[in-house]
């Protein structure tokens, strides 16, 4: 029947039939993630109405102030996902250590890494924010989980994606078989397929970077940004500049319209020479999505998905988006263009 739409779980079940290994565990995991995101979305949507905006007063593991909605989103995800029965452990951008599933709760073999509310410094201005997630299977056959189970290459992800809370709430994700986008229809409470088989244009029209940090960049990074601003680049005209300062929102726009997002390394903090974004909960999941949409992601040298994490909260420079634009930026960073 026309006009009803395909829900995300229906879509997953149709495509899972093609996989003989499907056990229903992943469907359960995704259902629980979706439910958590609906709760977060509900709170984000009424954020201006209740006393939930502002800061909690705490400082998180990254040394940043925790906003109340970050804290709420983190708690919802931990509470619900611990009870899904399909995870053995999780890691959140907001928690210093691995979050284990307690022994009194049923466990599974999946591992979930997430950024509960990315772009949260924008919450008070009603700007789009999102939840980024990354799913792995446990590697070891021990009954307990160790850091080793998390310190993996992004190429080993089973699935990854994000929820974006904006004028509408969307889920964009991949299981390694293309990228699909679903929009929450609040009248029925379901995410319906709205963007099937998303492909990012090979060359984009926009570049996204916080250019205020030019003074902290090395020469190759400055040349990359000059390339995108130059009328003499391969496109023959400057790219437009678009920077929201909310990774999910910047990434999502570039995924749909084409473009490159960059968060390069900078010299601001000698202790953190690797940019701001985190490999496991931000760069790797978005790299999986962009590659599945035909794009690319590097750290200015190597493919993001080939980088093996060495710490839970490791940071990485990020160049992500349209394939040709990322290739060009990487070549300039390597002195090859």
**Which residues would be at the binding site for ligand AHM (CB under 6 A)?**
64, 93, 115, 118-121, 210, 245-247, 276
Three-class SS state of 170: strand
Answer for which of 115, 266, 291, 299 binds Mg ion (CB under 5 A) is 115
Residue 65 contact among ligand AHM, Mg ion, none, beta carbon within 5 to 8 Å by kind: none
CB of 195 to Mg ion, least distance (A): 22
Three-class SS state of 45: helix
**Exposed (0-12), middle (13-18) or buried (19+): which is 236, by Cβ within 10 Å?**
exposed
**Exposed (0-12), middle (13-18) or buried (19+): which is 187, by Cβ within 10 Å?**
exposed
* Residue 118 sits in the site that holds Mg ion (CB under 5 A): yes
Query: Which residue number, 67 or 324, has a Cβ lying nearer to Mg ion?
Result: 67
Q: How many positions of this chain bind Mg ion (CB under 5 A)? A: 2
* 187 vs 170: CA distance, rounded Å: 14
* 151 vs 307: CA distance, rounded Å: 10
CA distances from residue 336 to 72, 218, 317 in whole angstroms, order as listed: 46, 16, 18
Residues flagged as binding site for Mg(2+): 93, 115, 117-118, 282
Query: Which residue number, 7 or 41, has a Cβ lying nearer to Mg ion?
Result: 41
CB of 249 to ligand AHM, least distance (A): 8
Residues flagged as binding site for substrate: 118-121, 210, 243, 276
What backbone torsions phi and psi does residue 17 show, to the nearest 5 degrees?
A: -55, -25
Site string (57-96) toward Mg ion, x via CB under 5 A: ----------------------------------------
Residues flagged as binding site: 93, 115, 117-121, 210, 243, 276, 282
Question: Which residues sit at the interface with Mg ion, rule CB under 5 A?
Answer: 115, 118
């Amino acid at each position: 029947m026309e006009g009803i739409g395909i829900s995300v779980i229906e879509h997953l079940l149709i495509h899972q039939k093609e996989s003989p290994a499907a056990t229903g565990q992943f469907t359960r995991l995704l259902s629980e993630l979706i439910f958590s995101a609906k709760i977060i979305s509900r709170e984000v949507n009424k954020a201006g109405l209740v006393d939930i905006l502002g800061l909690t007063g705490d400082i998180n593991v990254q040394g940043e102030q925790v906003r109340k909605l970050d804290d709420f989103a983190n708690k919802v995800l931990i509470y619900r996902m611990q009870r899904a029965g399909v995870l053995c452990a999780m890691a959140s951008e907001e928690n210093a250590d691995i979050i284990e599933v307690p022994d009194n709760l049923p466990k599974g073999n999946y591992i979930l890494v997430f950024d509960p509310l990315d772009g949260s410094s924008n919450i008070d201005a009603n700007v789009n924010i999102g939840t980024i997630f990354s799913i792995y299977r446990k590697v070891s056959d021990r009954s307990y989980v160790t850091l080793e189970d998390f310190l993996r290459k992004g190429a080993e992800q089973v699935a990854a994606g994000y929820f974006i809370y904006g004028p509408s709430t969307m889920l964009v994700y991949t299981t390694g078989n293309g990228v699909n986008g679903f929009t929450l229809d609040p009248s029925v409470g379901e995410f319906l397929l709205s963007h099937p088989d998303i492909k990012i244009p090979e060359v984009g029209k926009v570049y996204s970077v916080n250019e205020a940090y030019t003074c902290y960049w090395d020469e190759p990074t400055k040349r990359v940004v000059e390339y995108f601003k130059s009328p003499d680049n391969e496109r023959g005209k400057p790219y437009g500049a678009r920077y929201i300062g909310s990774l999910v929102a910047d990434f999502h726009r570039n995924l749909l319209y084409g473009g490159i997002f960059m968060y390069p390394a900078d010299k601001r903090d000698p202790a953190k020479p690797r940019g701001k974004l985190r490999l496991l909960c931000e760069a790797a999941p978005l790299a999986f999505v962009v590659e599945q949409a035909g794009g690319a992601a590097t750290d200015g040298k190597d493919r993001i998905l080939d980088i093996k994490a060495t710490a839970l909260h490791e940071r990485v420079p990020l160049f992500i988006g349209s394939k040709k634009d990322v290739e060009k930026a990487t070549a300039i960073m390597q002195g090859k263009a």
